Amino acid sequence: MAAVSDRLPAFPWDKLEPYKATAAAHADGIVDLSVGTPVDPVPRLIQRALIEAADSPGYPTVWGTVALRDAITGWVRGRLGASAAGHRNVLPVVGSKELVAWLPTQLGLGAGTGTLKDKVAYPRLAYPTYEVGARLCGAEAVVYDDPTELDPAGVKLLWLNSPSNPTGKVIPKEDLIRIVAWAREHGILLFSDECYLELGWEAEPVSVLHDDVCGGSYEGIVAVHSLSKRSNLAGYRAAFVAGDADVLGELLEIRKHGGMMTPAPVQAATVAALGDDAHVEEQRVRYAARRAALRTALEAHGFRVEHSEASLYLWVTRDEPCWDTVAHLAGLGILVAPGDFYGEAGARFVRVAFTATDERVEAAVKRLG
C-alpha cells in the first residue's frame, strides 16, 4: 500500500500551528479567523426538530424520507429557480466535504485507459478537497482560470465553485450559461459547489440549476448545497446534491452499498431548516455586520480587499508573501489562513473568515486599529 504522503498532499492546517500558538499568547486571547466554522447557536426550531426525532432506532434510508425529499425539491425550485426539479433530482449526503472528496471515486474515475488519463478540473484558487478527491481515485487533477479554455480531452469531471472559497468571487449568470453549454458539448459532467449561495453581499449568486442557466434540463449538471453556513449546522453534516437524475441514481446505488446514510434526526432537522427563511436572514444580518467591521479595519490597516463579493471570507493582501502576513497578524493575536493553502496563485493573499463571535470580531478590529 502506498503511503498516505505519496497519495495526498500534506494536511495544510498543520503548518498553521506555530502561528496559532503565537496568536494564542496574546494577553486578550486569540481571535481565530482562519476557519469558516459557525459559532452562533443552532436555531431553536432546528434543535426542536432534531430532539423530536431522537427516538430513531431503525436504519435511515440513503435517499431520505419523503418529507426530506419534499423539502429539498421545494427549496431547489423556490430558491434556485429550478422549476422542473423532482424527487429523482435530489439526494441527501453526509456533509458536502465527504461528497467532494469521494465523488470521483464514486463516479468510477481513476487512472483512465491507455495514455489518456481521467482528469478532474477545478479552479486555480480552490478549496483543497477538489484535488484530494482526484488524487484519492488516481485521476489527474488539473486547474483552470476559465474552464472553457481547457483541453477537454480526458476531462471527466468539472468543478465550479460559486461563490468561491477562498476568494468570494461569484460567477455571473452569462458565464454560467456559457460554461454549461461547453461542458455539455464535450460530454463533461459538471458539478457546481454552491454551498455559499445564500451569502451574497455585493453580487447575487446564481445556481447552475436555474432555468435561465440550464434551460430547464439538468442533463450533465449537479449542484452541491450545504446547511452548514446558512443554518449554523456544520456539526450536523447536513447537505444534499441536486440535478441530473441519472447521475444521482448511479450515486444512490453506490452510496447504498457504502451505507452513506444521513442520520434520521438530521434528516428531520434539515426539513425544518429548509422550511424556514427567517433564521437565514437573521444570520445574514450578523455576518453582514461582522464583515463590514472587519473590512473597514483591514483596509485602514493597509490591506487591499479583492473579490469577496460573497461567502464568509475576505480575500485580502498587503502585497507581500502570505506567510509574512500570517506572522504579522499572529503577532496581533489574530489567526488567518494563508492564501497558498488554496493554490500557488494565492501566495500573496490571506483569507479572513468573519465567523467569529461579535466580541472576538470587535477585539480584532481594536487590534488592527
CB-count exposure of residue 208 (10 Å: 0-12, 13-18, 19+): buried
What is the per-residue pLDDT for 329? 98
pLDDT at residue 363 above 70?
Answer: yes
Helix/strand/coil for 223: strand
- What confidence score (pLDDT) does residue 64 get? 97
In a domain, 52, yes or no: no
Domain stop point among 274, 293, 328: 274
Query: Among residues of the chain, what percentage have pLDDT more than 70?
Result: 96
The CATH number of whichever domain residue 261 belongs to comes to 3.40.640.10
- Cα separation, 24 vs 333, in Å, equals 6
Pair 229, 126 in one domain: yes
* Whether residue 211 sits in one domain with residue 161: yes
Write the pLDDT tens digit of every residue in 101-112.
Answer: 999 999 999 977
Residues 75 and 22 in one domain: no
- Count, in order, helices (H) and strands (E) of the chain: 13, 13
What is the predicted pLDDT for the residue at 112?
72
CA distance 142 to 155: 9
Residue 7 reports pLDDT greater than 80: no
Question: Which of 4-18, 256-270, 325-339 shows the lowest per-residue confidence on average (mean pLDDT)?
Answer: 4-18
Q: Give the model's pLDDT for residue 4.
A: 53
Q: Residue 233 has what pLDDT?
A: 97
pLDDT band at 115 (very low <50, low <70, confident <90, very high): confident
Instruction: State yes or no: pLDDT of 2 exceeds 60.
Output: no
Cβ contact 264:53 at 8 Å: yes
DSSP 285-338: HHHHHHHHHHHHHHHHTT-EEES-SBSSEEEEE-SS-HHHHHHHHHHTTEE-EE
Same domain flag for 178 and 248:
yes
Q: Establish if 296 belongs to a structural domain.
A: yes
Domain membership of residue 50 (yes or no) is no
Q: Do 172 and 296 have their domain in common?
A: no
Please tell me whether residues 187 and 288 are part of one structural domain: no
Average pLDDT on 287-315 reads: 98
Q: How far is CA 259 from CA 8, 262, 337, in A?
A: 25, 9, 34
Among residues 193, 175, 268, 176, the alpha carbon closest in space to that of 229 is found at 193
Structural domain ending residue among the three candidates 274, 306, 340: 274
pLDDT, residue 5, reads 55
Residue 47 lies in a domain: no
Whether residues 244 and 101 share a domain: the answer is yes
Residue 200 confidence (pLDDT) above 70: yes
**Residue 9 pLDDT:** 66
In a domain, 287, yes or no: yes
Mean model confidence pLDDT for the chain = 95
| pLDDT at 3 > cutoff 60 | no
Calculate mean pLDDT across residues 191-213.
97
Residues 266 and 283 in one domain: no
- Do 166 and 309 lie in a common domain? no
pTM of the entire structure? Answer: 0.94
Mean pLDDT of 21-45: 96
Burial code (b: 16+ CB inside 10 Å, e: under 16) for 223-251 equals bbbbbbbbbbbbebbbbbbbbbbebbeeb
Report the share of the chain in percent with pLDDT over 90: 94
The yes-or-no verdict on residue 69 having pLDDT over 80 is: yes
Do residues 93 and 14 share a domain?
no
pLDDT for the residue numbered 1: 52
3-state secondary structure of 265: helix
Query: What is the number of domains present in the chain?
Result: 2
In which band, very low, low, confident or very high, does the pLDDT at 12 lie, cut at 50, 70 and 90?
A: confident
Does 10 fall in a domain? yes
Q: According to the model, what pLDDT value does residue 116 have?
A: 85
- Please state the rounded mean pLDDT for residues 177-198: 98
* DSSP-based three-state secondary structure for 7: helix
Kindly state the greatest CA–CA separation across the chain.
60
Domain that holds residue 31: 4-41+279-368
The last residue of one of the domains, among 237, 258, 274, is 274
- Residue-level pLDDT at 13: 75
Q: Residue 28: which CATH number?
A: 3.90.1150.10
Residue 361, SS3 per DSSP: helix
